[in-house]
Chain A
């Protein structure tokens, strides 16, 4: 006989702890616990049996893995949080006593924690980190656009704005933007970085205010983590691209509203860190072989891509990556210590986005009209290799002015207004340039080719803007035209009604015609149909009426085919499914039904709209 098992010593009872038990064990406040959970990425788990995990109680609690909590228990940040608690007490005590000098020295030595180790733990490899920066980017872009307040400090907003600009600079530099979608919530962007698709959402440029039902502390804790994460990710991205991180900010430009243009991308070559060189020479001997590999990879890449790269206007000082790496191989001693970083570089070189449609706008030069959003279209156009300029009212830093001859497109978002006092020159310019609405740019990107400008010219009603992210195969596709038969059907129905009014005896007269119709309905190929037509002609039926009738007959046959057998074999075989299978089947069928309903609903609506349009066109 085995040993008696005590209750609560093994299994779910041991593997899970409730939140209150976790807080008690960590000896911190609930707020601190939440903060730790956010930073460490620990989330509650759902035990298979709640009662077993909670000593037989079914009270609504959240459970955490006991191991997760044990892992939190020796977290350096937790120690720092405790220190901070003591510090806060000391400080308030000193302030209460009016001991200003000791308060000052305390304040100077306030405990500060770093999240570097957490970043490394949560994202052991760089790819893991890149995969997870979606949310981080969304929040960073949001906070970059928030007004600073008591809760959101100006320095925080500034830092977020800097990070946002750095990300945009990188995406523009590598031309890795893939898709853009103008939604009612904001603008969705999708870029491919390190083979990972990164999607982020930027709100439209309006002042947002934090609503009262949102806990800012939670958002700020996330932001704290995201700032660190993005800092490290950008550092790696920039250094791998051979750029200096952080990109130096030109304060004067920034003040005049240059936006992204205030940052200048610098090549890493120019900075040589003297103390690091000593350490490096040893490393380099070991790296010789790998650098050869690097060169080979580069060659293979350049062979495939060719020299189709068109340099961007702002980053002209940046030589392409390939050249930079070549330099590195020739003069190993002068290169940057971070550049030697081995395996990753090799991988990154291979995985750097290749320019396909990424140079879509390379032959064009755009001019932004005053009412369009400069940051958005500057980012989009430059990411696809286009040149863009803007009036000084939308910020400084435009590479050319409105009179520039090279401008091919004007992105304009206002109705057409006839200006009587136009000079000849202006008229000429207007004629030469294409005035398009902003949606054209985005639709071109999503289509992967330059679309015809006619539909998008100024003042025209735009074609619908579709999401490039719609994924499901069985979803409703608005681009597909309605089947001609479907549209025509309504007419047929009407004519059928007319036919019904006709006296019945005609039917009897035209017996052979009916037979021909039947043949036409069931006819599978063209020859059979032709034979049926001939037969009908022989019976003396007008071709037009025959055609119509044949169509409706065909439809009837189709409808009859479409009807499922009432007691099919399959229905019977369902009896033999196991319970589990039956439930799964029911669930799948439910989802399928819901999707079809949705699709059919949309199709129905579209049909109605189309019909309405036709009627209006007629009248």
Chain B
């Protein structure tokens, strides 16, 4: 309420005061200026708002001596006031306007920019009291970044839209000379709009000075204005108290608690407990006391930092001559990075102690030791003080484990291609070997003379002799076909039995479900040893059967073919002349299959795993995980409890089937992929062949009791096969009755290794 009242009263006062001023201000130029630009009017409006705020102290009776500037600022408002408040004033003013209408006559011209007629007033003579902003602002581009005009000849446009040309500016030398010539040049500032130096006005200089001296920039501002008493002072005292509460006692009684606190300090000072400005104890010596006298805590002490290496002979100032570095060693030492050097100094020899200089890296070395102490992570290592040879397992000497093959006794070579597969007859007298050019040779183990040669189309995938002894034939696989061959020169009884088996006079009844595998046999009478007596054609697209696995009894025969679904696994039964695929579908591509020697179990090796099935119950028994990337070969121990698996990644895994799904032992000794593995049927031996061209013979003794681990002793490395196109020894087979080994290599040689 009070404020509004004050406002009103101020207005009244103003009108009263301003009447004489109005008369002063009625100058034609002034009015004309106001009409000229709206922007100016707005500016003034803003200024007038400020004025209104500032007006507040005007109410004071003493403030009637107003500044002219101030008034001129607030003239707009005055006009409003007039309009609002007094009608008669209005009238007088309009009269005044009429009187003062002394504008020069405007000419009407056609604008050369817009093409429209426009009024042009003659330029106004800026005599006095004109705003400096209107005075000289030929450039009317407004508040824009001036660098837009940087590469133009003009710097903007004047009010009439004409280009304002860039004033000529001299080079730096000219400028400098100007500053010399003109004593006032240091008060000039660069005007961006005009693109030239403009001298600063005295007011502006004063403003700068004030800002520099941290004064109020307003010259008129008086920081020590007398206080205006609005609510206090004479006649304005508040008579009524705000609260009726009696004055509290604490306002005039000294505090008891403060006194107590002070007294406490006073007493302490008197008793000497507090010594003001106590001198600092500089006695550094007496601050040590028997710190280790009391019982130590039972916590273990932190581990001491490792001690630095002690100096060797090389570090001596006078080392033996052999420690001094040669010229090359010195050079090598200087060229290596500081961090990579194996010792941080070069041995040097001085003839006398007095010639030894200071060590220039001393402080750096101490510093790096300190860095090690607080920045380096420490690891506690147990240092082994053992003979490294004690790590090598103690195994029985190979000499005590004889016999095993040691040397190559003979070689049969296949000229045309790599010898892929071999098979030794169950009596160990004959060897059949097949190569990639499609020929199968039959030769005697002891002599090596080729007795018979069969020729087939395409590669030979596998050759396998029937394990039965009452009959004698071998199976050869080529692309999608299995050929059953009878070797020549058989005893009559055996030949008859074989023919009766392979080409029986009365065929067994065909199976209920017709199989896609065709069994075709020539009659026993017509059969010769030159052509296969029986041919089993696998369904088309099954590819080359890579492996043949006979059941021990010799009635069943499993083949693994490379292509086609169902894993390409077929089990053929000779007596029923029937083939069946044991797996409807199988995970992974099957690499190998094996019959268990004693139980109706069947091993299937995929790329990564070996699965063991029970054929009788038709279920999966276990999955062995050798951890090999790609299984290449597999063989089962004749007793049936152990399995070895070899891989293309050079590993050989020994599985104890009773023990675990994980290998009992993993060996990696070949430098290239393992190609083939074979257990000797009677001797405790097994052999592995690899692409590195070597054959490794192991002694592998298996114990019947479950507690003893199998004993594996490496016996001999047989070398002699050449490596061709990255392939070494492709297959190894043992002779069933002798400790002899037959090996087929990529160089086309088939070797027999004897003990």
Using a CB–CB distance below 8 Å, which chain A residues touch chain B?
34, 37-38, 41-46, 62-63, 108, 114, 116, 119-120, 122-126, 128-129, 131-132, 134-135, 138-139, 142, 159, 181-186, 188, 199, 203-204, 206-208, 210-211, 213-215, 218-219, 222, 231-232, 234-236, 239, 245-246, 338, 341-342, 344, 371-372, 413-414, 437-439, 461-462, 464-467, 469-471, 475, 478, 567, 569-570, 572-577, 579, 581, 584-585, 588-589, 592, 602-603, 605-606, 609
Q: Are B316 and A184 in contact (CB under 8 A)?
A: yes
**What A residues does B313 contact at CB under 8 A?**
464, 466-467, 470, 478
**Is the Cβ of B319 less than 8 Å from the Cβ of A577?**
no
Q: A489 to chain B: closest CB distance in Å?
A: 18
Name A604's closest neighbour in chain B (CB-CB). Answer: B322
Given the interface contacts A218-B370, A246-B285, A341-B293, does A574 sit within 8 Å of B392 by beta carbon?
A: yes
With the chains together, A247 CA to B363 CA distance in Å? 29
Asked if B152 is at the interface of the complex by the 8 Å CB criterion, the answer is: no
Q: Which residues of B contact A588 (CB under 8 A)?
A: 384, 388, 391
Q: Which residue of A lies closest to B324 (CB)?
A: A605
In the complex, are the beta carbons of A120 and B291 less than 8 A apart? yes
- Set B321, B363, B714: member contacting A142, Cβ < 8 A: B363
Establish whether residues A185 and B345, one from each chain, have CB atoms under 8 Å apart when the complex forms: yes
A182 touches B352 (CB 8 A): no
A185 neighbours in B (Cβ, 8 Å) = 311, 315, 345, 359, 361-362, 365
Cross-chain contact of A129 among B292, B352, B369, B669 (Cβ < 8 A): B292
B359 lies within 8 A of A438 (CB): no
Report B-chain residues with C-beta under 8 Å of the C-beta of A338.
290
Q: Interface-forming stretch among B237-245, B301-309, B474-482?
A: B301-309
Query: Which chain B residues numbered 478 to 511 have a C-beta less than 8 Å away from chain A?
Result: none
Which among B350, B358, B369 has the highest number of chain A CB atoms within 10 Å? Answer: B358
Q: Which B residues form the contact surface with A (CB < 8 A)?
A: 277, 280, 284-285, 287-293, 296-297, 299, 301-302, 304-305, 307-308, 310-313, 315-323, 326, 345, 347-348, 350-354, 356-359, 361-367, 369-371, 373-379, 384, 388-389, 391-395, 397-398, 666-667, 669, 712-715, 717
CB pair A576–B285 under 8 Å, yes or no, is no
Whether A572 and B717, one on each chain, are in contact in the complex, defined by CB atoms closer than 8 angstroms, is yes
B717 touches A567 (CB 8 A): yes
Q: 10 shortest A-B CB distances, which residue pairs?
A: A206-B358, A469-B310, A124-B296, A588-B388, A605-B322, A235-B288, A606-B322, A46-B377, A575-B669, A464-B320
Cβ-defined contact, B391 with A125, below 8 A: no
Q: Which residues in A have their C-beta under 8 angstroms from that of B347? A: 184
Inside 8 A of B391's CB, which chain A residues have their CB? Answer: 577, 581, 584-585, 588
Point out the residues of chain B lying under 8 angstroms from A584, CB to CB: 384, 388, 391
- A125-B296, A203-B359, A478-B313 in contact; A184/B291 too (CB < 8 A)? no
Some 20 contacts from A to B, beta carbons below 8 A apart, are A124-B301, A182-B318, A185-B365, A203-B359, A204-B356, A214-B364, A218-B367, A219-B366, A232-B288, A246-B285, A414-B352, A467-B311, A469-B310, A475-B312, A478-B313, A478-B322, A576-B395, A602-B323, A606-B322, A609-B321
Complex Cα–Cα for A577 and B712 (A): 12
Complex-state Cα separation, A322 to B301, whole angstroms: 32
Inside 8 A of A116's CB, which chain B residues have their CB? 291
Chain A residue nearest to B368 in the complex (CB) = A214
| CB pair B351 A461 closer than 8 Å | yes
Select which of A128, A206, A342 is within 8 A of B304 by beta carbon: A128
Q: Given A183-B311, A204-B358, A576-B714, decide whether A236 and B292 contact each other with a Cβ distance below 8 A.
A: yes
User: CB-nearest residue of chain A relative to B316?
Assistant: A465
A486–B292 Cα distance when bound, in Å, is 59
A126 & B292 in contact (Cβ 8 Å cutoff) = yes
Given A108-B280, A184-B317, A185-B365, the answer on whether A125 and B312 have CB atoms closer than 8 Å is: no
Which residues of chain A come closer than 8 Å to B389, judged between CB atoms?
Answer: 570
Given contacts A43-B378, A572-B714, A581-B391, contact A218 B371 (CB under 8 A): yes
**Contacting pair B288 A245 (CB below 8 A):** yes
Q: How far is the CB of A564 from chain B (nearest CB, A)?
A: 12
Check if B384 sits within 8 Å of A204, measured CB to CB: no
Per DSSP, chain B at the interface is loop
Instruction: Tell whether, in the assembled complex, residue B319 and residue A465 are in contact, meaning their CB atoms are under 8 Å apart.
Output: yes
Among the listed B287, B348, B367, B375, which residue makes an inter-chain contact with A219, where contact means beta carbons less than 8 Å apart?
B367
How far apart sit A329 and B297, CA to CA, in the bound complex (Å)?
30
For residue B647, give the distance in angstroms from its CB to the closest CB of chain A: 16
Would A44 and B375 count as touching, CB distance under 8 A?
yes
Contact partners of A129 in chain B: CB under 8 A: 292
A455 to chain B, nearest CB (A): 12
Provide the residues of chain B in CB contact with A478, threshold 8 Å: 313, 320, 322-323
Partner of B377 from the list A38, A43, A438 (CB cut-off 8 Å) is: A43
Contacting residues, chain A, for B307 (C-beta < 8 A) = 134, 199
Chain B residues with CB below 8 A from A34, complex form:
374
Does A208 contact B363, Cβ atoms closer than 8 Å? yes
Residue with the highest number of chain B CB atoms closer than 10 Å, among A119, A438, A603, A605: A605
Q: CA–CA, A381 to B660, complex, Å?
A: 73
Chain A residues near B321 (CB-CB < 8 A): 464, 605-606, 609
CA distance A606 to B324 in the complex (A): 10
CB of A372 within 8 A of CB of B353, answer yes
Interface contacts beyond A44-B376, A439-B353, A585-B388: sample of 13 additional A-B pairs, CB < 8 Å, sorted by A: A124-B296, A128-B304, A181-B316, A218-B367, A235-B289, A413-B352, A464-B316, A464-B318, A466-B320, A467-B315, A570-B389, A573-B394, A576-B393
B317:A573 contact, CB within 8 angstroms = no
Chain B: CB-nearest residue to A373? B353
Residues of A close to B277: CB separation below 8 A: 108
* Given A159-B284, A588-B388, CB of A184 within 8 Å of CB of B356: yes
> Quick one: closest A residue to B388, CB to CB?
A588
Q: How far is the CA of A204 from the CA of B362 in the complex (A)?
A: 10
Please tell me if the beta carbons of B384 and A210 are within 8 angstroms of each other in the complex.
Answer: no
Chain A's closest residue to B370 (CB) is: A222
Taken together as a complex, chains A and B put the C-alpha atoms of A235 and B290 apart, in Å, by 7
Contact of A467 among B312, B354, B375 (CB under 8 A): B312
Which residues in A have their C-beta under 8 angstroms from that of B714? Answer: 572-573, 575-576
Q: Which residues of A contact B715 (CB under 8 A)?
A: 572
Bound Cα distance from A181 to B353, whole angstroms = 12
Cβ contacts under 8 Å, A235 to chain B: 288-291
B351 / chain A contacts, CB cutoff of 8 Å: 461-462
A219 to B365, CA, bound (A): 12
Distance in angstroms from A149 CB to nearest chain B CB is 13
Supposing A46-B377, A182-B317 touch, asked if A344 and B292 sit within 8 A by C-beta, the answer is yes
Interchain CB contact (< 8 A) of B290 among A138, A210, A341, A609:
A341
Q: In the complex, which residues of chain A have a beta carbon less than 8 angstroms from the beta carbon of B287?
A: 114, 231
Indicate if the CB atoms of B345 and A184 lie closer than 8 Å.
yes
A234 to B285, alpha carbons, bound, how many Å? 11
Docked Cα-Cα span, A138 to B280, in Å, equals: 31
Residues of A within 8 A of B348 (CB): 184
Contacts of B319 in A (CB 8 A): 464-466
User: With a CB–CB cut-off of 8 A, which chain A residues contact B373?
Assistant: 38, 43, 135, 222
